[in-house]
Structure 1
């Protein structure tokens, strides 16, 4: 019996130890009714998917490799709940990546991912935190509402060191000319008590040109010869309130078009040679009860436009409010409103007219507002 017991223990101890792994299926279904005050001169009523968060389904998983190391993957798409269509025509259009994560050195991931402006600046804005699509800056010019996802991306993210986190990305063109539609970005965040501060920078060459690069012609906010975006912000929590301020700037060389409003050329057909946006945002959120919150935002945007025909400045005043009530831990209703007024209006392009991101279309004049009543369910 003693020999059998000894052999049994030895056999048990010699068996291989299998790493723990997990795979989680998740999703968000968000739908609502939108009213747009002016779409080409007429009002519009629509049933529209997403907005406060994009409707999605996905899966994530990890495998423990031992020694504080694990393998990780993430796959998610965005779809229109009213038609069932994939929003970007891709199986995993929202995000798709695989990588390694260390509890000591951070993570390295590869695939279709967000840039550092999204990772470190967007969470400090209203639209990138609690407001969503309707509260995005004009044309989402700084990508804080994640209109861009970068393909062929290698990303590094550090562990948190005394409240400090940093990272960066490099998105390959996947063509012999490395500078032809590539993107690179860096960013950092610091949190201490009620304060969170973040900053980020990205540089994209020939965004929106072709179908193989970092930002394809169906992915990029702007089709241009060059795009640079940088910005920073701060959030401060005071009891049940969260206050924030952000500044972002985007510079575009030879901008051709926008995924939101189409061609950026003058009415005469003369193309723009330069376009710059500067966004100044104030935002606040108050949690009245664990189930009910209300947020508000104001953004002043200054635009500078140049062409062979003329130079112009256009400014935008945008404001948004969002109220959210939890029916349960997974289901909530939300009421949102957004307003835009355009001043200057001397560029001679479609940018002289108002367009609230997520509205039914471009206004026929310099102002527009959108109201939305939505329902969201998470699983």
Structure 2
């Protein structure tokens, strides 16, 4: 037979459990936040006018730490945000020169209409040059990051020579972004980057518009970007398109970027790429050809041809390698191109070509 003390203790525990259960059922809905990231580093061996061996960050994907959240507001409406910090894994510095340099935005999303967001965000050229490329817009291999340098303008890598600087037009500061939901496979979007420059309240801005169609094996995108800084007379426009088509385990990719320099220098340029990949089990093999061609005042071109291999150790971890040859035919007015900034001495007037081998590992969480 239980003592009075035991009965009292059991009754107290039962009441406490009942109160806790009642509190859980009446508490406000949770606001989930996802913490995620990528740790990606590789060793790069390069042979040009001199030889270079170094550790680099972000081969398959840029290393990062991110926070992504949403709150259900009812009726299909959600509040959303993303804060994403880029990391140079080789030395621990900021990846894009700002703490939340990859992305930083907040907004509203509707499941049937689309979303509107405000902050530092990707422009259309980031998706176009990344989603439809075998080597994306990274810092190794025959990447779409080879395309650019026309009058100092970097449409794919992102450039300080832009209305919003620090990454524009690939990443755009002070931007308002709208993108529709998918209607029959079609999404349309627009972005406006407020220049916020002293003495220029209307003309300093980035205007960006795009359309993307995804249905079955076909994925295609077109974009138009108008980048203008009134204070310096800087004005550049780009028209771009890319597509990917899959059949079975094979995917073909390709794209085009045309840069119209509307400044007095008239340093126009064009870039192209075409590639393909084949997946079998945990193995992925891929190849891509890229060309960046300067016109008018600066002439010359860079061609890059490379192949890569990726082995997925798990769903989140992969090892990868690539071999690429860069052929530079630039004049004195057109810088030699590589997938990243050229270290001093790697090319010279007599030896412009570069052969690159990379071996790395990527882990996502």
**Same-fold status (TM-score > 0.5):** yes
| Structure 2 partner of 1:157 | 179
| Structure 1 partner of 2:285 | 294
Give the counterpart of 2:87 among 76, 79, 96. 79
Task: Go from structure 1 to structure 2 and tell me whether the alpha carbon gap of 1:253 and 1:133 turns closer, same or farther (over 3 Å shift).
Answer: farther
Distance 2:354 2:233 in 1: 27
Is structure 2 residue 235 aligned with structure 1 residue 235? no
In the TM superposition, residue 233 of structure 1 has moved relative to its aligned partner by 1.7
**Equivalent residue of 1:119, what SS?**
helix
| Structure 1 partner of 2:17 | none
Give the counterpart of 2:306 among 295, 306, 320. 320
> Structure 1 unaligned runs (5+)?
1-11, 210-222, 255-271, 307-311
Once the two structures are superposed, the pairs formed by residues 248-263 of structure 1 within 5 Å of their partners are 248-254=257-263
Distance 2:60 2:359 in 1: 10
In the TM superposition, residue 125 of structure 1 has moved relative to its aligned partner by 2.2
**Equivalent residue of 1:246, what SS?**
strand
Moved more, 152-161 or 73-82: 73-82
Distance 1:96 1:138 in 2: 22
| Structure 1 partner of 2:211 | 188
In the TM superposition, residue 237 of structure 1 has moved relative to its aligned partner by 0.3
| Structure 2 partner of 1:137 | 144
Query: Is the radius of gyration larger for structure 1 or structure 2?
Result: 2
| Structure 2 partner of 1:349 | 333
Once the two structures are superposed, the pairs formed by residues 1-379 of structure 1 within 5 Å of their partners are 18-38=28-48, 41-120=49-128, 122-128=130-136, 133-137=140-144, 139-141=146-148, 143-144=155-156, 148-175=170-197, 176-179=199-202, 181-206=204-229, 225-254=234-263, 273-289=265-281, 291-306=282-297, 312-343=298-329, 345-346=330-331, 348-351=332-335, 353-357=336-340, 360-361=343-344, 363-364=347-348, 365-379=351-365
Contact kept in structure 2, 1:168 and 1:185, CA below 8 Å: yes
Contact kept in structure 2, 1:359 and 1:370, CA below 8 Å: no
Spell out, residue by residue over 1:267-293, the C-alpha distance to the aligned partner (whole angstroms, 9 max, x if none).
xxxxx812122122111011022x110
Task: Go from structure 1 to structure 2 and tell me whether the alpha carbon gap of 1:60 and 1:232 turns closer, same or farther (over 3 Å shift).
Answer: same
Task: Go from structure 1 to structure 2 and tell me whether the alpha carbon gap of 1:73 and 1:138 turns closer, same or farther (over 3 Å shift).
Answer: closer
**Equivalent residue of 2:310, what SS?**
strand
Spell out, residue by residue over 1:201-220, the C-alpha distance to the aligned partner (whole angstroms, 9 max, x if none).
1111139x8xxxxxxxxxxx
Distance 2:118 2:278 in 1: 37
| Structure 2 partner of 1:213 | none
Task: Go from structure 1 to structure 2 and tell me whether the alpha carbon gap of 1:138 and 1:55 turns closer, same or farther (over 3 Å shift).
Answer: closer
In the TM superposition, residue 230 of structure 1 has moved relative to its aligned partner by 1.4
Contact kept in structure 2, 1:53 and 1:133, CA below 8 Å: no
Distance 1:354 1:116 in 2: 23
Task: Go from structure 1 to structure 2 and tell me whether the alpha carbon gap of 1:139 and 1:354 turns closer, same or farther (over 3 Å shift).
Answer: closer
| Structure 2 partner of 1:309 | none
- TM-score, normalised by the number of residues in structure 2: 0.81
Contact kept in structure 1, 2:147 and 2:271, CA below 8 Å: no
What CA RMSD, in Å, does the superposition of the two structures yield over aligned residues?
A: 2.6
Contact kept in structure 2, 1:322 and 1:336, CA below 8 Å: yes
- TM-score, normalised by the number of residues in structure 1: 0.78
Contact kept in structure 2, 1:231 and 1:246, CA below 8 Å: yes
